Amino acid sequence: MKIGVLAVQGAAREHLVAFGRLGVAAVPVLRPADLAGLDGIVLPGGESTAQWRLLSRAGLGEPLRAALLEGLPAFGTCAGLILLAREITNWPERYFGVLDVAVERNATGRQVDSFEARVRVDGLGEVPAVFIRAPAIRRVGPGVEVLGTHAGEPVLVRQGSLLGATFHPELTEDLRVHELFLGMCRKG
């Protein structure tokens, strides 16, 4: 099992550490060649606009899109969810567009409104979560399951081999959401 973590910009290190603690090999992904032999990929938090510009200008955009369309399991957290989403309600761009949800960028407001909370996840119970200038999931397509909620709103969703979170499980010690993703990679 080998997991890649997109490392053009953002919190890749925290995901690499989380997989390390789970005893799973994880490698940073910066170039098309880094996609070879992966069983899954994490698109971490960061700035989605910066991440997209970097990966598209460095020639990683099309190979990664192709890998996602071929069914490479992917887990997007925060900015990573924005990169996966089919629609961004308050921004003119659309990135990979493979996960059938509509997201609103920076929906929780500015940094002074960022927060930590416990979210409810199906089968896991309460999971600690950090929300940083977090996006909100405003629409969920018919093939998308809502796995986690906070204050009645979806915060963790799954569509086949794609997982998306509006929060940052990698900023906590709790590894259960990463384990959930590893389970999806094993199936894939």
Partner 1 sequence: MQKGTYRVKTGFAEMFKGGVIMDVTTPEQAQIAEEAGAVAVMALERVPADIRAQGGVARMADPKRIKEIMRAVSIPVMAKCRIGHTAEARILEALGVDFIDESEVLTPADPFHHIDKWQFRVPFVCGCRDLGEACRRLAEGAAMLRTKGEAGTGNVVEAVRHMRLLNDQIRRLKDMSRAELVTYAKELGAPVEILEMIQELGRLPVVNFAAGGIATPADAALLRMLGADGVFVGSGIFKSENPEKRARAIVLACTYYDDPELLAKVSEDLGEAMPGLEIEKIPEHALLQYR
Q: Does 127 bind partner 1 (CB under 8 A)?
A: no
Q: Does 125 bind partner 1 (CB under 8 A)?
A: no
Cα torsion 76, 80, 86, 89 to 10°: value is 130
Rounded CA separation 103/91 (Å): 10
Closest to partner 1 by CB, 24 vs 117, is 117
Token output for 188:
């894939």
CB of 114 to partner 1, least distance (A): 5
Could you confirm whether 168 is annotated as catalytic?
Answer: yes
C-beta separation of 10 from 29 below 8 A: no
- Which residue from 22, 35, 91, 174 is in contact with partner 1, where contact means CB under 8 A? 91
From 14, 104, 150, 168, the catalytic residue: 168
Q: Does 53 bind partner 1 (CB under 8 A)?
A: yes
Q: Does 12 bind partner 1 (CB under 8 A)?
A: yes
151: left (phi over 0), alpha (psi -120 to 50) or beta: left
Q: Does 100 bind partner 1 (CB under 8 A)?
A: no
Could you confirm whether 170 is annotated as catalytic?
Answer: yes
Rounded CA separation 148/145 (Å): 9
Q: Does 13 bind partner 1 (CB under 8 A)?
A: yes
What is the number of other CB atoms lying within 10 angstroms of the CB of residue 44? Answer: 26
From 14, 15, 104, 170, the catalytic residue: 170
Rounded CA separation 85/157 (Å): 11
Coil/strand/helix, residue 33: helix
From 14, 15, 78, 104, the catalytic residue: 78
Could you confirm whether 126 is annotated as catalytic?
Answer: no
CB of 92 to partner 1, least distance (A): 10
Closest to partner 1 by CB, 89 vs 160, is 89
| Residues designated catalytic | 78, 168, 170
